[in-house]
Amino acid sequence: MIRLAIQKSGRLSEDSLSLIRECGISFVSSSYKLKTEATNFPLEILYLRDDDIPGYVQDGVADLGVVGQNVLVEAGLPELEVEPLGFSKCRLSLAVPRGEAYASVADLQGKNIATSYPQILGTYLAGHGVQANLHTISGSVEIAPSIGLADAICDIVSSGSTLLGNGLREVETVFRSEAVLIANRSLSAEKQNLLEQLQFRMQAVRRARRNKYIVLNAPVASLDAVKALLPGIKSPTVTPLAEQGWVSVQSVVNEDDFWHVTDQLKAVGAEGILVLPIEKMIS
Ligand code: ATP
Ligand code: MG
């Protein structure tokens, strides 16, 4: 049995649980439980505060964990990371009061900065040759300047609306983060094997999320152009339509390229384009 620690309740919880479920692992979870066992995979899930996850994995209380890189690096344990998971993307940014003049990070020399990330921020400032007074606070960092506690802050930003609401202006990106899978460094051979099975499944789920299945009709004359636009995994599937001179083409397209490719497909005469989600993708 391998033990995986995930956040009990917060911004990582829902995506962590759905990733495990999409890996085909079934379990019953309830908000008041502290742990649960999967019914069809030798996995136990522990629900913890995100801050505690890196330390518990380092100590072997849990074998694996899902946590933000921001928390992992702040805990001084970046070496535990095994795999980025592609969700909970955010950045750690420096922000100053909107009316304040700001030209570069050198302007923060000698200033008071409030943050929950003194390690990451300290490393960043040192890298820029800046010395500042860091005040570590665990929450509501954005209000520190307006109550006279700090001249600037360094905090998690996703859209920037919280900063705006507190009269702050984002001036530097200090760190970019996403959720990652972490693992204890001395897993037994059996647990290492279970980790690899999990990674294989997670990769198949992530690849599927990034791709779409596409089906379309095209005149035979444009087949070469269509094939060039939709190379697929190996090559597209091409079947004749009942109507002479037409074929049906099936392939896989990356979500990032999707709209661009679709415009080009239409331009070469493709019609009846259907796009379907992919559940798992193993290549
Ligand atoms: P806990 O009670 O477990 O300590 P928390 O309040 O410290 O929770 P959350 O706010 O739930 O933490 O955020 C968890 C993680 O989600 C953060 O460490 C970060 O990696 C990521 N995160 C935070 N804010 C955002 C955001 N706005 N958008 C996307 N991801 C975010
Ligand atoms: Mg926390």
The pLDDT tens digits of the residues spanning 174-216 come to 999 999 999 999 999 999 999 999 999 999 999 999 999 999 9
Q: Tokens 């051979």 map to which residue?
A: 189
pTM for this one?
A: 0.89
Ligand nearest to the CA of 65: 1
Nearest-CA residue for ligand 1 atom 20 is: 68
pLDDT band at 93 (very low <50, low <70, confident <90, very high): very high
Average pLDDT for 260-276: 95
Pairing of strands 90-97, 237-240: unpaired
Q: Quote the strand ranges of the chain, DSSP E.
A: 2-7, 35-37, 43-48, 64-68, 81-84, 90-97, 112-115, 133-136, 152-157, 168-177, 179-183, 211-219, 237-240, 246-254, 271-277
pLDDT band at 23 (very low <50, low <70, confident <90, very high): very high
Ligand nearest to the CA of 68: 1
Q: Decide: 58 in ligand 1 pocket, CB within 6 A.
A: no
Mutate to test the pocket of ligand 1, among 6, 9, 12, 177 (most ligand atoms within 8 A of CB): 12
Ligand nearest to the CA of 48: 1
In the sheet that 112-115 helps form, which strands lie side by side, from edge to edge? Answer: 133-136, 112-115, 152-157, 90-97, 168-177
Predicted local distance difference test score (pLDDT) of residue 247:
97
Quick one: tokens of 84?
């980025």
With 0-12 CB in 10 A as exposed, 13-18 as middle and 19+ as buried, what is 54? buried
What is the rounded distance in angstroms from the CA atom of residue 280 to the CA atom of residue 200? Answer: 11
Q: Decide: 156 in ligand 1 pocket, CB within 6 A.
A: yes
Q: Decide: 70 in ligand 1 pocket, CB within 6 A.
A: yes
Nearest-CA residue for ligand 1 atom 29 is: 88
